[in-house]
Structures are given as C-alpha cells and as structure tokens.
Amino acid sequence: MTSTARSTPASTTQDSNKIPATLIAGDGIGPEIMDAVTAVLDALGAPFAWDRQHGGLAGIAEAGDPLPPATLDSIRRNRLALKGPLTTPIGGGFRSVNVRLREEFQLYANLRPAKTLVPGGRFDDIDLILVRENLEGLYVAFEHYIPIGDDPHAVAISSGVNTRDGSRRIVRYAFEQAVKRGRKKVTLVHKANVLKALTGVFLEAGQEVAREYQGRITCDDRIVDACAMQLVLNPWQFDVIVTTNLFGDILSDLIAGLVGGLGAAPGANIGDRAAIFEAVHGSAPDIAGKGIANPTALVLAAGLMLDHVGLTEQAEHLRRAIHLVLNQNRTRTGDLGGSASTGDFAQALIQRINAQR
C-alpha cells in the first residue's frame, strides 16, 4: 500500500536506515499489545525509530489532554504513526481522539482488510477490503439539543455532510487499491433510496469515478441494509467495498466478525500529510493487565505500515509468520479458541520469524 503521505522510507540524522515513526501505546490493553508488537517488529528487523507519545486517558494523565500537543507535533513531524486503542467515553466526556486525529491530519481514507486467519469457522476463505470515508458523513458531529420544558436534552439533532469532491476522492482511492491489489470489483454502499441528498451525492460521484476504470475494474452498488444481509448470506460475492463514514464503521465490524472478530481486524488511516495504523478494536479495560489480550490486529496493522513505507517483503514475512503460528503451532489467544497469553503469542511469532531467516 502506498500513499503520497510516505511512499518510501525516510531517514533521520542519527541513523539513515531508521524510519521515524510516532508510537502511541494507548489505553487499557494498549501498552501490553504494543509491547508485543514492537518486540515482533524488532525480531523482524523493521527499521522504525519510535517516538513514544501519549493519547486518550494516558494523555490526560500525562499532560491533561487526551491528545497532547507533543503527540500532534510528533505525528506532524514524522507523518507516520502506530497507535494502540484509545478509550472514548460514551455519551459524555471528551470527544473521540481517533476522530480528532483523522480531522487534524485529514486522514480521509480508512482501509480495513479482512482475511480468514484460522480456517474452519462459520465463514471460510474470506478476503475482503473495506474502504471507509473518514472525514465526512454523520461523524462531522454537527450536533445540538433543543430544550423543552425542564428537559435541556429533549430533542437531539445531528447533521451529516458529504461532498462531491470528498466522495470522488474516497471512491478513487478504493479503485486504486483494487488495481494495486489485483482485485476485480468495487461495490459502492449507500442509502440513496432514503437519504437522497446525503448519500445520493456519494453514489453519483462514485458512479462517475467508476466510469474511469471501465474495462479494468467492475463496479456495482448496494443499499447498506441489503449489503449487511448479503455479507452474512454470501460474503464471497464482494471484493472491495467503499462507503461513507458511519456505514463503513458498522460494516467493517460486521466483516471483522466473518474472520473471527475485532482481534483479527487491522486498520489504516491514510491522508496526504500523514498515515496512522491501528487495531480496529477498543481498549478492553476489563481484561487489561491480565496478559490475555490478542495482539494479532495490531501486528497486522504493523504489516500494513510496512507495506506503506515500501517494505513489502518484511510485511509478507510477518503475515506468513502469523499464519504459521495460528495454523501450524496452533498458538492462539482465548478469543480465537486457544489458551495462549499475549506474551506466548508474541514469542511464537518471534520464533517463526527467526526460523524463516
């Protein structure tokens, strides 16, 4: 995967072979899975020079801000980051740090591949890519309340925003991903039968872009609720899905369920000024510190990061090691039906990586 944000390895004055990158361990299980991932990357020989920063609850504890200025400055300088899960309060508290990061660095594309890791489940041989628009839609959060009587929150109103230019940009990104990855079809997902303006403009722009790829990539479209049903009934009919912000958030979790859950779901947030890689799952505070969290999603996100900086051979080496650990060693954490600890899984990966040298 490449982007104008960083398509080739950069250098530092200290070590020309090192790629400067911001590392945010995150909240809850974040620090322990990040420790596992950095150990695996070290074994792989991945040449990142980590600038460790804070975010979320750790950012509040360190600097009184869930997204401290030092963290923003680091990402702005490095244009590359690996991020653990960050806690977002439900209903109140501070605004989502993930959303703020996407807005701050204009990370317009959210790439979420889903591939079967452990065969034999209810769904097998899944290999899908979901591309989600990251900056528009209902997640712009133009929200307010209207008080009635004694209730200051009697009516809640939210407005969504989709632009033709933003829609063209994300659909073109999806088609370019399809071309680069040898995919055959892109599906536009919308709700233009009801939200005729908000998602109608996305569908129109998407069909316009699709015409540029005629003869190379086929294109169809689905209404979002029908797409959700068809993903469960016959997910193999899909290849690359591109959709708006809210629909992409929901469908990406559904697709993760086809391959074993969020513990196997990596994500990449791509813009022209920066790229941030993350696990899709949350901070799971209920299991934090128990050493049982599955680091696979964050390891896979690190693989996407390696792809992004042009280290595709190391990325493939990493993904091969994951496959062997899960399916030959059968070293799996509890969410994948095993009993391995976070550290056990990381050590098994390191051993596989060393054995492949």
Per-residue pLDDT band at 338 (split at 50, 70, 90): very high
112 in the same domain as 27: yes
Q: Could you tell me the pLDDT band of residue 15, with boundaries at 50, 70 and 90? A: low
First to last CA, the chain: 24
Q: Residue 139's pLDDT is what?
A: 83
Closest CA to 306 of 288, 292, 319, 324: 319
Q: Which residue among 145, 151, 225, 290 is the active-site one?
A: 225
In the residue annotation, 191 being an active-site residue is answered as yes
Whether residue 83 is found in the same domain as residue 168 = no
Measured CA to CA in angstroms, residue 86 lies from 31, 198, 220 at distances of: 11, 29, 35
Distance between CA atoms of residues 250 and 227, nearest Å: 11
Q: Is residue 320 part of a domain?
A: yes
- Please give the pLDDT value at position 8: 40
pLDDT above 90 coverage of the chain, percent: 82
Residues 248, 148: one domain? yes
Under the banding of pLDDT at 50, 70 and 90, the label for residue 141 is: confident
- Interatomic CA distance for residues 103 and 83, integer angstroms: 16
- The answer on 248 and 268 residing in a single domain is no
Q: Are residues 139 and 247 in the same domain?
A: yes
Read off the CATH number of the domain in which 97 is found: 3.40.718.10
194 and 145 in one domain?
A: yes
Given 258, 274, 309, the domain boundary residue is: 258
Expressed as residue numbers, the domain containing 153 is 135-258
Do both 274 and 249 map to the same domain?
Answer: no
Q: Looking at the structure, do residues 297 and 331 belong to the same domain, yes or no?
A: yes
Q: How many angstroms separate the Cα of 287 from the Cα of each of 60, 73, 180, 292, 326? A: 21, 31, 38, 7, 22
For the stretch 158-194, pLDDT in tens is 999 999 999 999 999 999 999 999 999 999 999 999 9
Q: 7: pLDDT confidence band, cut at 50, 70 and 90?
A: very low
Average pLDDT, the chain: 92
pLDDT exceeds 90 at position 135:
yes
Is 249 annotated in the active site? yes
Among left, alpha and beta (phi > 0; psi -120 to 50; other), residue 195 is beta
Residue 96, pLDDT score: 78
- Split into its structural domains, the chain has a count of 2
Domain final residue pick, 225, 242, 258: 258
pLDDT at 79: 97
The pLDDT of residue 95 is 66
pLDDT band for position 1 (50/70/90)? very low
Position 17 in a domain: yes
Domain boundary among 203, 233, 258: 258
Buried b (16+ CB within 10 A) or exposed e, 139-149: bbeeeeeeeee
- The proportion of the chain whose per-residue pLDDT surpasses 70, expressed as a percent, equals 93
Residue 126 lies in a domain: no
- Rounded to whole angstroms, how far apart are CA atoms 102 and 100? 5
The pLDDT assigned to 5 comes to 47
220/300 same-domain check = no
Q: What is the pLDDT of residue 260?
A: 87
- Report if pTM > 0.85: yes
> Distance (Å, rounded) from C-alpha 203 to C-alpha 159?
19
Question: How far is the CA of 82 from the CAs of 9, 50, 299, in angstroms?
Answer: 15, 9, 10
Tell whether the model's pLDDT for residue 9 goes beyond 90.
no
pLDDT band at 91 (very low <50, low <70, confident <90, very high): very low
Q: How far is CA 256 from CA 113, 163, 252, 265, 281, in A?
A: 9, 28, 6, 6, 10
Residue written as token pair 């797409």: 227
pLDDT > 70? residue 241? yes
Q: Which pLDDT does position 342 carry in this prediction?
A: 96
| Catalytic site residue from 191, 221, 307, 344 | 191
| Shared domain check, 307 and 250 | no
Asked if 26 and 297 count as a contact pair (C-beta separation under 8 A), the reply is no
pLDDT over 70 at 89, yes or no: no
Residue 90 pLDDT more than 70? Answer: no
| Whether residue 149 sits in one domain with residue 91 | no
Antiparallel, parallel or unpaired: β 127-133 and 240-243 = parallel
- Supply angle C-alpha 216, 219, 225, rounded to 5: 155
Per-residue pLDDT band for 73 (boundaries 50, 70, 90) equals: very high
Q: Say yes or no: 95 and 150 in one domain.
A: no
295: pLDDT strictly greater than 80: yes
pLDDT band at 2 (very low <50, low <70, confident <90, very high): very low
CA distance 169 to 41: 32
More confident: 5 or 49:
49
Tens digit of each residue's pLDDT (9 = 90 or more) over 193-236 = 999 999 999 999 999 999 999 999 999 999 999 999 999 999 99
